[in-house]
């Protein structure tokens, strides 16, 4: 095994660049099309509160575990796991956890690129005025037409992959940092512009009420599980992304405050996204929803009815594309770092090969919306459904659970204390209880909750 030394020389230029990069990874489709809706549906302000509790008790401890392991191992998640397992006197098979992350990132990126491709396509469509004054039927039809057209989807998926691979191939400083320095401030500015627009749309009070009125009656056990799952996915945990990024964190950065800042930024964007989106929907008397339906049907329709809708609609899709790109970059890092180290290879070459394989895999997702839509892999899941389910509901939680267990119970105590700057016994036990017991149990609960319906349908229980 030839570990190339360049990975150990890679460092974020400052603590702030790491915060921005990690926030770029965290802020993605999950913040924009998922959080606002689940908050509104599951108790509004009450949900936001329990979500913050989940971020604090599940998200932050797992993120700290990942980053501390990355900074200690100073290499790709696979090599980091191997080194740390050795240092801790454990089996080197723990490196499999790194592999799990590499494969998960790869699977997620394959379909993330397809969906981000839709957003790119919609920048163009909205800016062109396609949806100005359009009827609900014609907006829905435009989305159906796009999904029925594999060539068009492939064109945009390819464009998105090319940009992503071009950025990551340039390396940590010239690629990742440069891109993040442009994309993240732009993302914040676009979001503020949209907030101002939405504030004046006429639906702001209703949007605010939907997201923030305390509706305790809507909070059941399920709301807790949804909040926990969201806290986990939105912070990009469980697949070694934060471990890979953690490998480049400067020695003097304080991990706990840095991670809290990242989590706060991510939450802030999720809330701002809700306040930017829902007033526009309500101003048009439309029904709120989530996911692709909200983004590619309801919102274009809503923008189409408002003054300057083409301009602000296009701004919204640029925002989504930027959020997706900074997440996509992070999805490649575990695999990219590993292959570069292991084969002493040029980063650019590895990036291109990785991009081609991921692009090919993404074709499966493209076809899942048209020619392969009825080919089922498991139960009622077609190719895309299967890859999405496997990566998000099984591989990510499994990875997250094992990562915190490893960090808390298997790593040498002095190593963790040094990384976290823990000096008192009380602090040490607080860390052990939250990160070593509460967080893995929380993830286990999400895991059981999400796979139970599938198990039931497969075995007719
Ligand atoms: N956090 C991203 C989002 O909210 C998704 C993601 C998950 C990105 C895992 C990287 C790794 O959309």
Q: What is the pLDDT of residues 73-116, one digit of tens each?
A: 999 999 999 999 999 999 999 999 999 999 999 999 999 999 99
Report the sign of the C-alpha dihedral through residues 418, 424, 427, 431, in that order.
positive
31 CB less than 6 Å from ligand 1? yes
Average pLDDT over residues 272-279: 96
C-alpha 134 to ligand 1 mean position (Å): 33
Smallest CA separation from ligand 1 atom 7, residue: 236
Structure tokens, 341:
């180290």
More confident residue, 5 or 392: 392
The answer to the question of residue 1 being in a domain is: no
Which atom from ligand 1 is nearest to the alpha carbon of 26?
A: 1
Confidence of residue 328 (pLDDT cuts 50, 70, 90): very high
102 CB less than 6 Å from ligand 1? no
101 CB less than 6 Å from ligand 1? no
The answer to the question of residue 2 being in a domain is: no
pLDDT digits (tens, 9 = 90+) for 58-72: 999 999 999 999 999
Could you give the number of structural domains in the chain? 1
Q: What was the pLDDT predicted at 34?
A: 92
Rounded Cα–Cα distance for residues 200 and 194 (Å): 10
pLDDT digits (tens, 9 = 90+) for 130-186: 999 999 999 999 999 999 999 999 999 999 999 999 999 999 999 999 999 999 999
391 CB less than 6 Å from ligand 1? no
Taking 70 as the threshold, does the pLDDT of residue 6 lie above it? no
Question: Which of 23, 30, 268, 325 maximizes ligand 1 atoms within 8 Å of its Cβ, making it the mutation to test the pocket?
Answer: 30
CATH number of the domain within which 300 lies: 1.20.1740
Taking 60 as the threshold, does the pLDDT of residue 5 lie above it? no
Taking 70 as the threshold, does the pLDDT of residue 7 lie above it? no
Taking 50 as the threshold, does the pLDDT of residue 8 lie above it? no
The answer to the question of residue 426 being in a domain is: yes
Taking 50 as the threshold, does the pLDDT of residue 2 lie above it? no
Domain residues for the domain of 182 are 7-458
pLDDT digits (tens, 9 = 90+) for 347-361: 999 999 999 999 999
Q: What was the pLDDT predicted at 1?
A: 41
What are the DSSP E strand ranges found in 360-414? 376-378, 381-382
Which atom from ligand 1 is nearest to the alpha carbon of 27?
A: 4
327 CB less than 6 Å from ligand 1? yes
The answer to the question of residue 277 being in a domain is: yes
Contact assessment for residue 99 and residue 78, using Cβ atoms and an 8 Å cutoff: yes
Q: What was the pLDDT predicted at 362?
A: 98
Average pLDDT over residues 286-294: 92
Question: Which of 233, 240, 243, 335 maximizes ligand 1 atoms within 8 Å of its Cβ, making it the mutation to test the pocket?
Answer: 233
Instruction: Please state the φ and ψ torsions of residue 213, each to the nearest 5 degrees.
Output: -60, 135
Average pLDDT over residues 48-61: 96
* C-alpha distance from residue 298 to each of 93, 145, 179, 287, 404 (Å): 48, 16, 30, 8, 39
Taking 50 as the threshold, does the pLDDT of residue 4 lie above it? no
Secondary structure letter of residue 217 according to DSSP:
G
In the block, tokens 């006197």 appear at 89
């Amino acid at each position: 095994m030839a570990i190339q030394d360049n990975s150990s020389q890679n460092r974020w230029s400052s603590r702030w660049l790491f915060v921005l990069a990690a926030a770029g990874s965290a802020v993605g489709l999950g913040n924009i099309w998922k959080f606002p809706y689940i908050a509104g549906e599951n108790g509004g302000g009450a949900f936001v509160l329990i979500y913050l509790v989940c971020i604090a008790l599940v998200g932050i401890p797992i993120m700290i575990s990942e980053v501390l392991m990355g900074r200690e191992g100073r290499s790709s998640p696979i090599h980091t796991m191997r080194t740390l397992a050795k240092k801790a006197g454990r089996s080197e098979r723990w490196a499999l956890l790194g592999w799990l992350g590499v494969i998960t990132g790869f699977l997620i990126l394959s379909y993330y690129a397809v969906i981000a491709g839709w957003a790119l396509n919609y920048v163009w469509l909205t800016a062109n005025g396609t949806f100005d004054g359009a009827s609900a039927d014609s907006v829905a039809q435009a989305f159906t037409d796009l999904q029925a057209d594999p060539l068009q989807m492939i064109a945009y998926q390819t464009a998105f992959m090319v940009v992503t691979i071009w950025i990551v191939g340039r390396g940590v400083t010239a690629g990742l940092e440069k891109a993040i320095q442009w994309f993240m401030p732009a993302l914040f500015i676009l979001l503020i512009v949209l907030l101002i627009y939405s504030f004046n749309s006429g639906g702001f009070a209703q949007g605010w009420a939907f997201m923030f009125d305390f509706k305790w009656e809507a909070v059941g056990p399920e709301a807790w599980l949804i909040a926990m799952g969201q806290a986990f996915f939105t912070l990009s945990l469980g697949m070694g992304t934060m471990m890979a990024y953690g490998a480049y964190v400067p020695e003097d950065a304080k991990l706990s405050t840095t991670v809290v800042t990242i989590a706060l930024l991510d939450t802030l964007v999720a809330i701002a996204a809700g306040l930017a989106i829902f007033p526009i929907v309500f101003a048009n008397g439309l029904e709120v929803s989530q996911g692709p339906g909200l983004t590619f049907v309801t919102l274009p329709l809503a923008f189409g009815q408002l003054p300057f809708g083409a301009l602000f609609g296009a701004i919204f899709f640029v925002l989504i594309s930027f959020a997706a790109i900074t997440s996509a970059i992070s999805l490649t890092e575990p695999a990219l770092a590993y292959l570069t180290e292991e084969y002493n290879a040029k980063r650019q070459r590895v990036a291109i090969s990785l991009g081609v394989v991921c692009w090919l895999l993404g074709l499966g997702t493209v076809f899942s919306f048209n020619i392969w839509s009825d080919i089922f892999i498991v139960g009622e899941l077609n190719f895309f459904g299967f890859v999405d389910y496997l990566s998000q509901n099984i591989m990510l939680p499994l990875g997250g659970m094992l990562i915190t267990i490893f960090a808390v119970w298997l790593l040498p105590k002095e190593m963790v204390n040094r990384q976290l700057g823990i000096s008192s016994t009380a602090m040490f036990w607080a860390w052990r209880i939250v990160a070593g017991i509460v967080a893995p149990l929380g993830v286990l609960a999400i895991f059981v909750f999400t796979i139970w319906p599938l198990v039931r349908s497969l075995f007719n229980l």
